[in-house]
Amino acid sequence: MLTLVSAAAETVGARAAEVTRVRSGFDEARRFDFGVTVTWLHSEKRAFIKREASAFGSQSRLSNDLVYRQTRDVMNTRIEMGVMRDVGLHVDLPFVVRDDRGLDFDQPNGRACGDGPSAPVCINQHNSTILRDGILPGAGQASYGVDAGAGAVPFAAPSSAVFRGPRRSGLESLGVGVAWAVMNQSRDESKPTFVLGLDARLDVGTTMRYDAARPGANTAVGLGYHQFIASMAVSRRLGALEPYFGAYYLQPARGSGSPFQPLAGDNQPHSAPQQRAGAHFGVEFVPWEAPQNHQRVALDLRMRGEHRFQGSSRSELWEPLSGPSACGAGNLEACRPGIDVELNGGGPHPGITETQASSTVGGDLGLNIQVGRHVRFRGLFGLSADLPHFITFATTGRDRDGDGHVDSTSAEANPAYREAVDLPGRRFKVDGSQIWNVALNAALTF
């Protein structure tokens, strides 16, 4: 869930929706406005990972392979201060309490493992392509995969689990931002409340990485890049209803040493992290309020969507794709053939993959309760889904001599391209994802 603007405010006589609340300083009634909001966010994601398979000549089809699961808990503390009339500053400290990720074989209930008429309908260690291609060890064996949370031991048949990443926790970023209510309906009834926001999420912690030789060594949650967000939101109170609309654009900026740096040369066109843009619209319904006591109850219903442009990402397979640190030009025996060694030198696969552009759509239902001037509570439940997209989608490189194709030389070839996972007919695709989350917060205003 992406918070666009300050969601805790107490301007004079404010009646704004949550998405357009802004701290305000130096008002006639209150010259100083300060608040703290603590939010707990729990989210769970489940997605099917399918694999292209060549069949019937050049035609490709999708086969079942894996089920991805992620559970994540984040505790965010936001400190806000009104610094000018209708202008507020805020600082965010999102601490990831836990981030658990894993992969299971795709095994539909009630079906025996084996091959169906055209594709495997139940996956195990004998037909999973992630084992067959050596991305994870143990193809056809009684033990297979990696359980990084249990000392990197493999799973034993008939377990459906094939990968468990380390439990991650820590400070994800340091967020700083400003929100400005260009128009404020509580001051001028003839106008809506219109808010502009600028935020920076600074990558200040240890970067999240995975080393297949030491699976549990890194439990960090840092993204390896900064995020800069421009946003807007507008709302208009109409009796008991307050419809609203908001939009944002997120520009990532990688730092030195980031795993998103180009591998070599200038032939990797989508090495930068994915840019994102999104919007939401909804309505707050206020069935009861007592403005003189700063009390009200509001129901919040919204729809939202986000588009991620083509670029590089930590996909659902980023940890299994990451290679061992021992792999290198002087130690090719430690490398996985066709996966770890790149064209211009050699080294482990970083796990970062060029990812197809995709979108997420969803909605939220919330309850907002303000019990007085100084205390407010909020709960929000959301459901969303990622639309199907390829997560190994690297291009072959750049055609620099204009002959109509990319040569397999260092002058044109993309060093991030791996035929084992990027060649059409071998690519991985995420499909059927389901994401649900619940957020609870409490705000104190001083």
DSSP 177-230: EEEEEEE-TTT-TTS-EEEEEEEEEE--SPBP--BTTBTTS----B-SEEEEEE
User: pLDDT (tens digit, 0 to 9) for every residue of the chain, 446 residues total?
Assistant: 444 333 333 333 335 688 998 888 777 666 678 999 999 999 999 999 999 986 544 567 899 999 999 999 999 999 999 999 999 999 999 999 999 999 999 987 645 565 444 456 789 999 999 999 999 999 999 999 999 988 899 999 989 999 999 999 999 999 999 999 999 998 899 999 999 999 999 999 999 999 999 999 999 999 999 999 999 999 999 999 999 999 999 999 998 889 998 877 678 889 999 999 999 999 999 999 999 999 999 999 999 999 999 999 999 999 999 999 988 877 888 889 888 875 445 678 889 999 999 999 999 999 999 999 899 999 999 999 999 999 999 988 888 878 878 887 778 888 888 889 999 999 999 998 999 999 999 999 88
- Per-residue pLDDT, 257: 85
Contact 259, 279 (CB under 8 A): no
- Per-residue pLDDT, 123: 92
- 384, amino acid identity: S
| Closest alpha carbon to 293 in 366, 184, 375, 181 | 375
Q: How far apart are CA 286 and CA 43, in angstroms?
A: 27
| Closest alpha carbon to 172 in 247, 287, 93, 88 | 93
Q: How far apart are CA 48 and CA 432, in angstroms?
A: 6
Q: Which two tokens stand for residue 243?
A: 């419809």
- Per-residue pLDDT, 346: 62
- Per-residue pLDDT, 28: 65
- Per-residue pLDDT, 29: 62
- Per-residue pLDDT, 119: 53
Strand 225-235 with 193-202, pairing: antiparallel
Q: Which residues pair with 207 in a beta bridge?
A: 222
SS3 assignment, position 19: helix
- Per-residue pLDDT, 293: 92
| Closest alpha carbon to 25 in 91, 90, 88 | 88
- Provide the 10 A C-beta neighbour count for residue 43: 18
- Per-residue pLDDT, 403: 84
- Per-residue pLDDT, 9: 31
- Provide the 10 A C-beta neighbour count for residue 409: 12
Q: How far apart are CA 373 and CA 236, in angstroms?
A: 22
User: How far, rounded to the nearest angstrom, does the alpha carbon of residue 235 sit from its chain's CA centroid?
Assistant: 27
Q: How far apart are CA 120 and CA 106, in angstroms?
A: 10
User: What does pTM read for this prediction?
Assistant: 0.91
| Closest alpha carbon to 323 in 168, 165, 161, 214 | 214
- Per-residue pLDDT, 14: 38
- Per-residue pLDDT, 13: 33
| Closest alpha carbon to 299 in 38, 17, 39 | 17
- Per-residue pLDDT, 436: 97
Q: How far apart are CA 309 and CA 31, in angstroms?
A: 43
